[in-house]
Amino acid sequence: MNDTLIAVLVAAVAAGLGGLLVPTLIGRVPEPRPKERPEGTPDETPEDEPPKMLYADMAARPGLAWRSVVVASACGALLGWATGLDWPLLWLVPLTPVAVALSVIDWHTRLLPRVVVVPATLAAIAVVVVVGLATGEREALLRALAAMVVARSFFWLLWFLRSAGMGFGDVRLAAPVGLVLGWVGWGALAIGLWIGFIAFALPALGLAIARRDRSMLKKSFPFGPFMVLGALVGLVWGTALAGGIWG
C-alpha cells in the first residue's frame, strides 16, 4: 500500500468520524440575540423570508449525521489524495467537518457563527505555526499567514463596500480559507477564491435562465458553502489549474 492510498484512507476515516459530530457542533451553537429596534420602528425583514431556523432544530434534522459523514469523508479523501502523508493533513482533516457544519448553518440561516469560526481559525493558525517552525517550512508558513491577511482584507473590503450582500461572517471565514490555501501557494489561493465566486454566481444565473427572469440575478444566496467549495478546489487542483492558466 503506497503513501497516497494510506493518506486517502486515513483522511477519509478521520474526517468522516468528525462528520459524526456535526449535529452536536451545530446544536451547541448559541442562538444569536435578536437585534433591538427603537420602539415604533417597523420590522425590515422581507415578508417572503422565512424565520431563521433554530440551531437545535437544524441539528435534529433526520439524516444530517450520515450526510455529514459522507461529505466529510469524500472531502477528506480528496485532501488525502492531493496532499499525501504530509503535515497539512494535521489541520485540513480537523477543519473538514467544521467546514461542513458551517456550510450547513450558513445555508439555512445565512449566518457563520463567530463562536465556531474564530476558535477554528485560532487553532488552525497555532498548528500551522508549530508545524512551519518545527519542520523548517518557514517560507510556506509566512506565505500562509500573508495569504490569510490578504484574503481577510479582500473580503473585508467587499463587506465594507456592501458588495454582493457580503456578511461579516464571510470576512471571518476568509481568514482560515486564506491560511490553508496560502500554505499550498499563491496560485492555489487565487484559484480557490475565484472558484468560490464563480460557484456563488451560478445558482442565480441558472435560475435566471431557467425562469427567464433577470430579477433572479439579485437573489441572495449564502456565500459560505461556495467559499468552502472554492477552498477545496484550490487545495486539490489549485496549483495545477494556476499553472495551466498562468503558465
Sequence-ordered list of residues with C-beta below 8 angstroms from that of 170, at least 6 positions apart, any chain = 112, 155, 158, 159, 223, 224, 227
DSSP conformational letter for 51 = P
Is residue 202 very low, low, confident or very high in pLDDT (cuts 50, 70, 90)? confident
The residues spanned by each domain of the chain are 1-31+47-110, 112-247
Q: Residue 41: its pLDDT value, please?
A: 44
Instruction: Supply 197's cell numbers.
Output: 465566486
Mean pLDDT is lowest, of 106-110, 140-144, 146-150, 212-216, for 212-216
Q: How far apart are CA 203 and CA 114, in angstroms?
A: 26
Q: How far apart are CA 74 and CA 47, in angstroms?
A: 38
Quickly count: other Cβ atoms within 10 Å of residue 203's Cβ. Answer: 13
Instruction: Supply 200's cell numbers.
Output: 456563488
Does the pTM exceed 0.85? Answer: yes
Q: How far apart are CA 240 and CA 97, in angstroms?
A: 25
